[in-house]
Each structure stands twice: as C-alpha cells, then as structure tokens.
Amino acid sequence: MPNIFEAAAGLSGVEQLKLAFQGEELAAPIARTLDYRLTEVEEGRVVFEGTPTQAVYNPIGTVHGGWMATLLDSACACAVHSTLKPGQVYTTLEIKTVFHRALTEGVPVRCIGTILQVGRKAGFSEARLEGLDGKLYATATSTCLVMERP
C-alpha cells in the first residue's frame, strides 16, 4: 500500500492530512481497522469521529481503553501533524491518557485534538473524547518530536 504522506512530502502537514483523508481508500489503516474517521482538519485542530461496537469491548463489557487511547493518540498526533512545514515529520514521544467514564457500544463520539504549542523540535497537544451529547469520556496530552524528513 503506498504511503500517501511520503508521496506528498512536499506539502505542509495540514495539506497532507486533507489529501490523505479525502477518501476511505486513503485513510490510515488503523482508522479503518478500528472504524473511526477524520472529519475536520485545520492547522492546529483535528476531529475524529467513530461509534464503537462490541468488537472493541474488553472482558468487563465496555469499550476497551485501547480503542479510546488510539483515538486520543490519533487526535493529538494529527494536531501536531497539521502544523508541520513541508519536509518535516514527527513521532509521538509520550502520551498521557485519563479515562473519565466507561464507554459502551453504539455511542457516537468525537475526538478533538488541539495544539498547545509547537516549536522547532517538539509539539505539545491535547485531545478530548466526547459523546455527541457533550459527555466527556477521556482526555489526553501528548508530546511529539518534530524533525526534518531523513
């Protein structure tokens, strides 16, 4: 499978994200696997949406924290990605996740990632995983290393 970001290396991060998520066939494999999608992109802010099913349940009968953490990581990282200049790449250095309440199947959620600060070498972001009714399910903060493409 071709990597859309490598093919679009001459574009800014926000341009890459807008291009990569125009169609289902260009979506990141993890988003297809866990059935969520990027719905909004602007510099410094992204929104993912999804509705969990029992396929992502843990043994105690709620949505596995890994599903929620993956959405939070995607939102934090893509918020940083949206600020990159052509020729820059990033990688997540750390993420801290806090689970505020259990999530169950069929509850549509939005995960909003925003930039706190981006410098020459590091980007700091946060994300909120909320139900469409505004209930808060989880939050995260993240640090990403920003570097020039090798």
pLDDT in tens, 93-129: 999 999 999 999 999 999 999 999 999 999 999 999 9
- Proportion of the chain above pLDDT 90, given as a percent: 79
Distance between CA 109 and CA 26 in Å, rounded?
Answer: 22
Full set of structural domains in the chain with CATH: 4-148 (3.10.129.10)
Q: For residues 145 and 128, is the Cβ–Cβ distance under 8 A? A: no
Measured over the CA atoms of residue 51, residue 71, residue 34 and residue 68, the dihedral's sign is: negative
Could you give the count of Cα atoms lying within 13 Å of 50 in the half-sphere of its Cβ?
A: 28
Where are any strands of DSSP class E within 23-87? Answer: 36-42, 45-50
pLDDT attached to residue 10: 84
What's the pTM? Answer: 0.92
